[in-house]
Amino acid sequence: EEGDLKVFKARLEALRVAADEPSSMTAIDAAVKHFQDEDAKLFASVKSGDRTATAALVSGTVDEAADGVTSAIGAYIERANRERAAADKRFAGAKAQATRDTLIIGALALLVALALAFALARHLTRRLRALSRAAEALAEGDVDHELAVEGRDEVGRTAAALASMVD
């Protein structure tokens, strides 16, 4: 086989392997088959030495068959490009949705974290204020002030130490 024909067949086979659906190659295969049939007629005409028939084939049916192969491949490429564009559009939509979902989840997580931080700060502030009031009352000589701060953390241990000073 000639070099160009060998390259064409190799690329056609690679296209066939890469095709998503075997039916997508039907038009190309039919056009190639038609071209091969016309090429066989041309070869027979050249072999017989009939220059008039050869010229008629080259400028007529063989040329049309070659154009048919080109058109079939062009149609395949256009279809593949449309499918790729549609896939790109679907991907972009999915990416945008994932980004929105991530931002919403992040915002919700931030709100929950802020609510928890506020609740914790409020809880600690109440305990520290109670401890501060008890210390101020003790400083003023009020040993009967009731200290209602409990816990095993630093605030609770400080309240226990203050209570033991009063006792």
The answer to whether 34 and 68 have CB atoms below 8 angstroms apart is: yes
- Two tokens at 95? 């990416």
Query: What pLDDT, on a 0 to 100 scale, did the predictor assign at position 74?
Result: 92
Residue carrying structure tokens 């953390």? 153
> What is the reported pLDDT for 1?
53
| pLDDT at residue 89 in the model | 97
- Which pTM does this prediction carry? 0.61
pLDDT in tens, the chain (167 residues): 567 878 888 888 888 887 777 777 889 999 999 999 999 999 999 999 999 999 999 999 999 999 999 999 999 889 889 999 999 999 999 999 999 999 999 999 999 999 999 999 999 999 899 889 888 888 888 877 777 777 888 888 888 888 888 77
> Alpha-carbon distance 136 to 154, whole Å?
19
Would you state the pLDDT for residue 40? 94
**pLDDT at residue 130 in the model:** 86
- What's the CA gap between 112 and 108, in Å, rounded? 6
